Amino acid sequence: MAKLAALGRWCLLLLQTLIAVVSPPYFPRQIWRSMRIVGIETVAPVVTVMAFMGMIAALQGLVVLRLFGAERLLAGMITQAIIRDLAPAMTALMLAAQVGTAIAGEIGAMRTSEELAALRVLATNPVRYLVVPWFLALALLAPLLTGMGATAALGGSFVVAVSLHGAAMGPFVAELVAQITGATLWEASSKALVFGAVISLIACHHGLEARTDAQGVGRAANATIVQGVIVIAAVNAMMAVVLLKAGA
Amino acid sequence: MKAGWWDEAKRWSQFLGRLARPGGPPEYSLLFLHFRCICFETILPVLLVAVFIGATATLMGFHAFRALGTETLVGSYAGLVCLRELAPLLASAMVAAKPGTSLTATLAVMRSTEQIAALEVIGTDPYRYLLLPRIIAFVMATPLLVIFADAAALGASFAMAVQQLSVTPEVFWREVARFVAPHDLGIGMLKGAVFAALTGLIATYYGFNAQSGPRGVSRAVTRAMVAMAIADVLANYLISEAFYGQ
């Protein structure tokens, strides 16, 4: 029952945030700060992790396709996998790890030192002042970061397939470029946008409800990453089915 | 706050050296306690995520192979991808996310409330009493969770292929059996153990060296989670390259 109540409060937060997004007042300085943190701090982890994911995709793809003597299909297969699934999901995971836990910790710490109460005393709505900036920053920048991650992953897969394992370079690049179509890019960015929005709300929800001591802050960060991983996997599976039905 | 690379490396080597200092065997009761905690609190999320990932991977593989008119191969594709890569990675990701960050937070809170200092005062070595049993428990628990993740991902893949994509069960299992070898399971468990060792070390390092106060705790959790994710994918690539790369 407690979990259901938490889900209900999460939905209320979603509703409040959506209303606050389309109506003034806005806090441009807060939005700019959130965007700077999301944009700058996550680039390095996202690019590193995605480069290795691309390398592993190329390695296993090559091993499997060699069994059928169909190596030239490698680039097409892994480009599809990277752009449509790996890049949005892994970028979202890294966003949850880097920004999500930080948001939960920050808001939790603000709650501990009664800064949220102070905001209310100043007649500032915490949802508008704290949640909306993170929501906008994560939702808008997640597609961009996914793009960077996908580029890094394709670079990593190129290094492994062509430089280390001797796939032919020309067909590899040609197949790779042929797979980058409007439809795949649209799919990737819509997924990334949803993931970013969901992560920001999970993190803010846990921060706003954190218990007011050091332990509560740690637990809020922990709960954020756990729920983030589960929700990303679930939403990814659902969106794969939905987008497939829509496309077919 | 801004520690250079050199300071960080120095602290890491001190930390590892202190952990490796010989002593008696770790307390088995503590070891078992942490092992049980890790298994019980992680098994459900692992199964849940494995089901989703197995289904998604199958769907993707099916469409990649349909372009070639060989969609019956989806069984071998899903088997290889899930057992070799996805199941070990996702089990370790969940171990890092749940007991891993929880361990970091616990140690960071113990640091802020000076419980670690108190342990030292009463002459208990925090490295042996707090850190070592947990790290060993991680290494013991994760291979077990990898097996569960294997089963759940393959089960979901089977359900997806048979229910949604109309592959017959016989064809699915034949294709799985054709390319998946028992040693894939073993390598998956080995990966789980390596990732778990990295997770345990990173989680305890950041928790143990956290700054006090709520912000210190949250910063420790964030840094630990990012470091664990990067270490896991790096180790994953190296192990796969070593075993499958020829």
pLDDT digits (tens, 9 = 90+) for B119-168: 888 888 888 888 888 888 999 999 999 999 999 999 998 888 888 777 88
Facing B97 at nearest CB: one of A56, A217, A225: A225
Instruction: Say which residues have a Cβ less than 8 Å from residue B129's Cβ, sequence separation at least 6.
Output: B27, B30, B119
- Measured CA to CA, the distance from residue B113 to residue B134 in angstroms comes to 20
Residue pair B192/B145 in contact (Cβ under 8 Å)? The answer is yes
DSSP states along A148-206: HHHHHHHHHHHIIIIIIT---HHHHHHHHHHH--HHHHHHHHHHHHHHHHHHHHHHHHH
Q: What is the pLDDT of residue B131?
A: 86
In degrees and rounded to multiples of 5, residue A25 shows phi and psi of: -80, 150
For residue B99, what is the nearest residue in chain A, using CA coordinates? A222
pLDDT category at B30 given cuts 50, 70, 90 is confident
Residue pair B63/A243 in contact (Cβ under 8 Å)? The answer is no
Q: Tokens for B189, please give them.
A: 């468990």
- Measured CA to CA, the distance from residue B100 to residue B34 in angstroms comes to 12
- Measured CA to CA, the distance from residue A19 to residue B167 in angstroms comes to 46
Task: Give the mean pLDDT of B208-231.
Answer: 87
Q: What is the pLDDT of residue B1?
A: 44
B179 touches chain A (CB under 8 A): yes
- Measured CA to CA, the distance from residue A176 to residue B60 in angstroms comes to 17
Residue pair A111/A207 in contact (Cβ under 8 Å)? The answer is yes
User: What residues make up the domain containing A97?
Assistant: 28-247
Q: Tokens for A151, please give them.
A: 């580029």
- Half-sphere exposure (CA, 13 Å, Cβ side) for B124? 14
Looking at every residue in chain A, the average pLDDT score rounds to 85
Does a structural domain hold residue A3? Answer: no
Does a structural domain hold residue A212? Answer: yes
- Measured CA to CA, the distance from residue A154 to residue B188 in angstroms comes to 25
Q: Tokens for B169, please give them.
A: 């069960």
**Least trusted range by pLDDT, from A14-28, A144-158, B15-29, B48-62:** B15-29
- Measured CA to CA, the distance from residue A245 to residue A248 in angstroms comes to 5
- Measured CA to CA, the distance from residue A112 to residue A211 in angstroms comes to 8
Q: Which residues of chain B lie closer than 8 angstroms to A62, CB-CB? A: none
A236 touches chain B (CB under 8 A): yes
For residue B164, what is the nearest residue in chain A, using CA coordinates? A241
The residue assigned the tokens 């995709």 is A57
> Beta-carbon neighbour count of residue A44 at 10 Å?
13
Q: Which B residues 74-103 touch A at CB under 8 Å?
A: 76-77, 80-81, 84-85, 90, 93-94, 97-98, 101-102
Q: Which A residues 147-186 touch B at CB under 8 Å?
A: 164-165
Residue type, B54: G
Q: Tokens for B246, please give them.
A: 């020829």
pLDDT tens track for B61-91: 787 777 777 767 778 888 888 888 889 999 9
Residue pair A50/A91 in contact (Cβ under 8 Å)? The answer is yes
Domain ranges of chain B: 27-241
pLDDT category at B3 given cuts 50, 70, 90 is low
- Measured CA to CA, the distance from residue B195 to residue A131 in angstroms comes to 34
What's the CA angle centered on B64, arms B58 and B66, to 5 degrees?
95
Residue type, A185: L
Does a structural domain hold residue A211? Answer: yes
Looking at every residue in chain B, the average pLDDT score rounds to 86
Query: Do B218 and A244 lie within an 8 Å CB cutoff?
Result: no
> Beta-carbon neighbour count of residue A184 at 10 Å?
16
Residue pair B84/A60 in contact (Cβ under 8 Å)? The answer is yes
**Taking the model in full, what pTM does it have?**
0.84
Instruction: Say which residues have a Cβ less than 8 Å from residue A125's Cβ, sequence separation at least 6.
Output: A20, A119
- Measured CA to CA, the distance from residue B191 to residue B93 in angstroms comes to 12
Q: What is the pLDDT of residue A200?
A: 92
Q: What is the pLDDT of residue A182?
A: 83
In chain A, the number of structural domains is: 1
Angstrom CA distances, B91 to A12, A200, B51, B220, B221, stand at 32, 24, 12, 22, 19
Select, from the ranges A77-81, A242-246, B193-197, the one with the highest average predicted confidence (pLDDT): B193-197
Q: Is the peptide bond before B45 cis (omega within 30 degrees of 0)?
A: no
Residue pair B99/B42 in contact (Cβ under 8 Å)? The answer is yes
Does a structural domain hold residue A22? Answer: no
- Measured CA to CA, the distance from residue A224 to residue A207 in angstroms comes to 9
